[in-house]
Structure 1
Amino acid sequence: MPAVKLADGELNYLLEGPATAPVLVLSNSLGTDLHMWDAQIPTFTEHFRVLRYDTRGHGKSLVSEGPYSIEQNGRDVLALLDALDIPRAHFCGLSMGGLIGQWLAVNASERLQRVVLCNTAAKIGSPEVWNPRIETVLRDGSAAMRALRDASVARWFTPEFAITESAKVEPVVGMLAATSPEGYAANCAAVRDADFREQVASIKLPLLVVCGTQDVVTTPTDGRFLVERVAGAQMVEFHAAHLSNVEAGELFTQRVLDFLQA
């Protein structure tokens, strides 16, 4: 896979679709990689030049010393756009990717066109949630990642989807088990420290907020918080838990496509 060289390592990416089409950046959730978007690619690449990448600490991208910050991850996206000579792009991020999208929309709005924030919040969780997880992962390494993989099934998917669609679930939770413990812990700290509650009202870009009705990590209430503060923002809810792009599948893909092409 191609990679862009940053100051401290390489950022892995895939760029697919017609060379003359508008660019759509896809940003992965904590504990997954760029393949979490595989179900969307056949449709999205009919209309967009799709740029997806492994966030620092994930997949085949660099694992630098932590802790990281969402600003750092956002600047990685800007460096990727610069390296590929892309002045502006649509952006769609899920969970941690949604936090990165918020940072970009607040701090680099001139580089974005339309923004989709999926299964995310202006602030996700608390130090009481994140610190024990960081400590466990740094102490137990790969064993902790395997344990997180098993626990993530219930957080990421509804029980019925986990049972009936195991062929879709297993590859995604497998990404978590394969994630670098150091990279995962460093990004947990980035999510822990991110708080855009006072800043999101400054977003002036067209915004779609996607929620899962069964998402206990970033709830529809978190989605409504964003929509109520960003002028003109739209919201859609799917019967899904945290990874709505996987669970809602074609419905997710079509709704995001309709928004981006509006």
Structure 2
Amino acid sequence: MQTQKTIDVGDAALRVVIDGSQDAPVLLLSNSLGTTLEMWDPQMPALTRDFRVVRYDTRGHGSSSVTPGPYTIARLGRDAVALLDALDVERAHFAGVSMGGMTGMWLAMHAGTRLHSLIVACSSAHIGGEDGWNARIRAVQAGGMSPVVDAVVSRWFTEAYFCAAGDAIAHLKTMLGGIDPQGYAAACAAVRDMNLLPEIERIATPTLVIGGTQDLATPLAMSEAIVARIKGARLVTVPGAHLSNIECAEAFNAAATAFLSDVSGGARAERFIGGGSVRPPSRPHDPEAGAT
């Protein structure tokens, strides 16, 4: 059964969709920059078997409030805490892609007692590239979303998937094109200014990092840098680009459900199935190496 709500988190109202059994543990999902909660549709059949899945449109996105910017990752993290409070959820599992993963890392550092586990997918603790972000912000503020849609969506996927998945690509272009330009610009500033690298070693929450081997937006080195700094974190790679939960849905779902089963007390997963591969933690990488 699905429930749709609008939840007040202080100075904003967030669109929320809830699926799954009321008695199941809660899994909170946070969308990437430029998408809505529908980006998680490929995960819903797998995740709702064992979890009460709560999705929301991040501030400035979809049907959630567009408040004045710039935003910060801390602001987005506090929204997630307020959402859990409003739903009377003491602790939840959390998964986020890209900007959603950044939000999750902030939560694990500053409100770790609210999390059972953390999945950070195709994300980074620090992206950099201030000039590029500023140019993108100016472009959408001046001309709306249309000047950036084609370039941004093409970087979300590998060329092979982009060429083959015509209907899915068209849907995502419509999704990105429908984001409020001011909300998008405000969220771009949050990603631009975010640098969690000096602090993420404080994270004690069980953490899975999923990285796309062909991700240009947050290259695999950025995922490796996260894993190298969070004690006990695991890295799973999938053969896709930035929105790997869509392009590599089967492998993504297998990795996520195996990890969640493990941390929830199920049989220990020694390896993940469905096309993903486990990578051991490595030494820190330059977070801006290969960043675009």
Using the size of structure 1 for normalisation, the TM-score is 0.97
State which drifts further: 170-179 or 242-251: 170-179
Instruction: Tell me, in whole angstroms, the C-alpha distance in 1 between the residues paired with 2:9 and 2:236.
Output: 36
Deviations 1:178-197 (A, max 9, x none): 00000000000011111001
Q: Is the 8 A contact 1:168 1:246 kept in 2?
A: no
Tell me the secondary structure at the aligned position of residue 261 of structure 1.
helix
| Maintained 8 Å contact 2:153/2:172 | no
Q: Is 1:77 aligned to 2:77, yes or no?
A: no
The alignment covers a number of residue pairs equal to 259
Asked if structure 1 preserves the Cα contact closer than 8 Å seen for 2:140 and 2:148, the reply is: no
Pairing 1:20–2:1 present:
no
Paired position in structure 2 for 1:180: 180
Does residue 51 (structure 1) correspond to residue 39 (structure 2)? The answer is no
For 1:123-165, what per-residue CA distance to the aligned partner results, in whole angstroms no more than 9, with x for missing partners?
1232111111111111112xxx123111123210001101111
Deviation beyond 4 Å, 4+ runs, structure 1: none
**How big is each residue's C-alpha offset from its partner over 1:172-215, in whole Å with a ceiling of 9 and x where there is no partner?**
23211000000000000011111001001111111111001110
Query: 1:259 is matched by which residue type in structure 2?
Result: F
Equivalence for 1:247: 247
Query: 1:43-122 counterparts in 2 under 5 A?
Result: 43-122=46-125
| C-alpha deviation, 1:73, in angstroms | 0.6
Matched residues in 2 for 1:44 and 1:7: separation? 29
- Residues 66 and 183, structure 1, Cα contact 8 Å, conserved in 2: yes
29, 32, 45: which is aligned to 2:32? 29
Name the amino acid aligned to 1:96. Answer: M
Structure 1 residue identity aligned to 2:58: T
What runs of 5+ residues in structure 1 fail to find an aligned partner?
none
RMSD, aligned α-carbons: 0.9
Cα distance in 2 between the residues matched to 1:124 and 1:204? 23
Per-residue CA deviation, residues 112-133 of structure 1 (Å, 9 max, x unaligned), is: 0110000001112321111111
Query: What is the identity, as a one-letter code, of the residue corresponding to 2:93?
Result: H
Match of 2:149 in 1: 149
Residue 133 (structure 2) pairs with residue 134 (structure 1): no
How far does the alpha carbon of each residue in 1:37-79 deviate from its partner, in whole angstroms, 9 at most, with x for none? 0010111111100000000000000000111111111101111
3-state SS of 2:241 partner: coil
Q: For the residues of structure 2 that align with 1:63 and 1:26, how far apart are their CA atoms?
A: 19
Find the counterpart in structure 2 of residue 219 from structure 1. Answer: 219
Q: Which residue of 2 aligns with 1:202?
A: 202
Q: Which runs of 5+ in 2 are unaligned?
A: 263-292
Return the letter of the residue paired with 1:36: M
Query: Please, what TM-score do these two structures have when normalized by structure 2?
Result: 0.87
Q: Is the 8 A contact 2:60 2:67 kept in 1?
A: yes
AA of the residue aligned to 1:216? L
3-state SS of the aligned residue for 1:47?
coil
Mapped contact 1:3–1:11 kept (Cα < 8 A) = yes
- Which has a greater percent of helix? 1
The offset of 1:169, in angstroms, is 2.2
CA distance in 1, matches of 2:25, 2:72: 28
Choose between structure 1 and 2 for higher RCO, CA contacts under 8 A separated by at least 6 residues.
Answer: 1
- Contact 1:148–1:176 under 8 Å retained in 2: no
Identity %: 46
Q: Secondary structure at the match of 2:67?
A: coil
Taking the aligned partners of 1:153 and 1:64, their CA distance within structure 2 comes to 25
Judge conservation of contact 2:245–2:252 (CA < 8 Å) in 1.
yes
